[in-house]
Amino acid sequence: MSVVVRGIGWIALYVAVAVVPLVFAVIGPVEGGRGFWVEFSVALGFVGMSMLGAQFALVARFRAVAAPFGEDALVQFHRQISYVALAFVLAHPILLQIGGVDIVALLNLAEAPWRARCAVASTVLLLIVVATSVWRRRLRIRYEVWHLLHGVLSVAVVALALAHMLLVGYYLDAIWKVWLWTVMTVALVGLLVWVRVVAPIRRLWRPWHVEQNTAERGDARTLTLAPAGHDGLRFRPGQFGWLTVGRSPFAVTAHPFSFSSSAEDHGRVRITIKALGDFTSAAGDIAPGTRAFLDGPHGVFTPDRHEGPGFVLIAGGVGITPMISILRTMVDRGDRRPFLLIYAVRTMDEQTFDDEIVRVSRRLDLTVVPVPQDPPPDWEGESGFVDRALVQRHLPDRYRHRQYFICGPTPMVTAMEDALAALNVPADRVHTERFTFV
């Protein structure tokens, strides 16, 4: 089945999950006389509820779901659609009030019935979930703390909303409707059990150990991971995995890292980590022999999905890691197609993989354009920020036919997407990986 067909299939399933309770709600005998606004409000509540449930599936790292879109796009969708779900949930009590139900009176929680208390608690928690996600950095919440909070509060939001729905009892008049909601609830609980229990157990059976920990230029470390008692993993160049080191696979936070080794090297996996925060800055302390767990491969940022007569790779800083994997893999495959690598770094001394780039360029048709932001005094090459004019100066003839891979800081990736669009490169030939999900 083609990627496009699978993509359409998943979108259709998402829409079905969102609206199915609505269709079922109106089939069969409907209590009359409640008026349009009340019915409409209940409909919005049901759809908002299903969308919140589906949020878990979007970020459950199911490879089959992510395959047509990419993990990055799923996370973006999870984020954007949460505003729509929130709007539906907030519209629900407002429309009820318009429809003549005295919602304001129910806000007196001391005297309100449990169905109202559950609704208020669920809505307040949902607002906290959204606010802490949108303003996490501004609120200075550490990623790990936010991640844990986000998971726990989201489960509470859905559980309280379900309790509200059951206590109100609208459209739950027939046993098969109760069954429908039971099936959806069981599916949701099953999803949580899969993500938090079954998947970690599967990883527990496939441990890795750190074989080497080597320093790289640019304040980075490369961990060489060897499978302990299993056959390792096969990945495509450019893909990434979620890494847990020295902790159990049940630990809530794993960190995503691109593989930097050749995809043709089936015995070992290498990951290159730049010191940026608490986990990454401690990478130098990871001793050889330490146990690790890998969840992967993930991601669609790979030339293996996109045939082309040649490739343009644009990397910023540690965004070089998937590119070096691509280049190493192409060397191992004896690929003869032309590659252009534009590599933005702060200073030439911080150029991670400088030696390796020289090595692979001897065995590939590779042109390298280093772009230091602060060039050395005698520098004659490109410098400053990578922009449209700079890229245009180095693009070959018939550049629109090439496949473009861009990885680096979000502002650079976005600027490059705009630049390539302005140069009329078709959007389906431009592939990006952003190293910040949240």
List of residues contacting ligand FAD (CB under 6 A): 143, 240, 253, 255-258, 272-274, 276-280, 318, 321, 433, 435-438
At closest approach, how far in Å is the CB of 237 from ligand FAD? 13
At closest approach, how far in Å is the CB of 371 from ligand FAD? 19
Name the nearest CA neighbour of 188 among 71, 22, 17, 45. 17
At closest approach, how far in Å is the CB of 434 from ligand FAD? 7
Cβ distance to ligand FAD smaller for residue 24 or 279: 279
At closest approach, how far in Å is the CB of 387 from ligand FAD? 24
Give the E-state strand segments of 231-381 in sequence order.
240-245, 255-258, 269-274, 291-298, 311-316, 338-345, 365-372
Cβ distance to ligand FAD smaller for residue 143 or 194: 143
Place of tokens 């490169």: 425
At closest approach, how far in Å is the CB of 272 from ligand FAD? 6
Cβ distance to ligand FAD smaller for residue 145 or 228: 145
Cβ distance to ligand FAD smaller for residue 48 or 238: 238
Pairwise CA distance, residues 306 & 431, whole Å: 9
Pairwise CA distance, residues 296 & 279, whole Å: 19
At closest approach, how far in Å is the CB of 419 from ligand FAD? 22
Pairwise CA distance, residues 97 & 91, whole Å: 10
Extract the tokens encoding 83: 């505003």
- Residue 285 C-alpha from the chain's centroid: 28
Cβ distance to ligand FAD smaller for residue 272 or 302: 272
Cβ distance to ligand FAD smaller for residue 82 or 321: 321
Contact residues for 385 (Cβ-Cβ < 8 A; gap 6+): 344, 371, 373, 412, 415
At closest approach, how far in Å is the CB of 218 from ligand FAD? 10
- Residue 326 C-alpha from the chain's centroid: 21
**Which residue minimizes CB distance to ligand FAD?**
277
Name the nearest CA neighbour of 431 among 422, 423, 420. 420
Cβ distance to ligand FAD smaller for residue 66 or 161: 66
94: left (phi over 0), alpha (psi -120 to 50) or beta: alpha
Place of tokens 């590939």: 364
At closest approach, how far in Å is the CB of 243 from ligand FAD? 8
Burial state string for 235-261 with b = 16 or more CB within 10 A and e = fewer than 16: bbbbbbbbbbbeeebeeeebbbbbbbb
Cβ distance to ligand FAD smaller for residue 58 or 273: 273
Name the nearest CA neighbour of 126 among 172, 102, 93. 93
DSSP conformational letter for 194 = I
At closest approach, how far in Å is the CB of 139 from ligand FAD? 12
Cβ distance to ligand FAD smaller for residue 122 or 261: 261
Cβ distance to ligand FAD smaller for residue 115 or 306: 306
The answer to whether the bond into 297 is cis (omega within 30° of 0) is yes
Name the nearest CA neighbour of 305 among 3, 62, 47, 59. 3
At closest approach, how far in Å is the CB of 241 from ligand FAD? 9
Cβ distance to ligand FAD smaller for residue 61 or 394: 61
Pairwise CA distance, residues 269 & 263, whole Å: 8
Extract the tokens encoding 193: 């059990």
DSSP conformational letter for 259 = B
Sign of CA dihedral 182, 188, 193, 198: positive
At closest approach, how far in Å is the CB of 280 from ligand FAD? 3
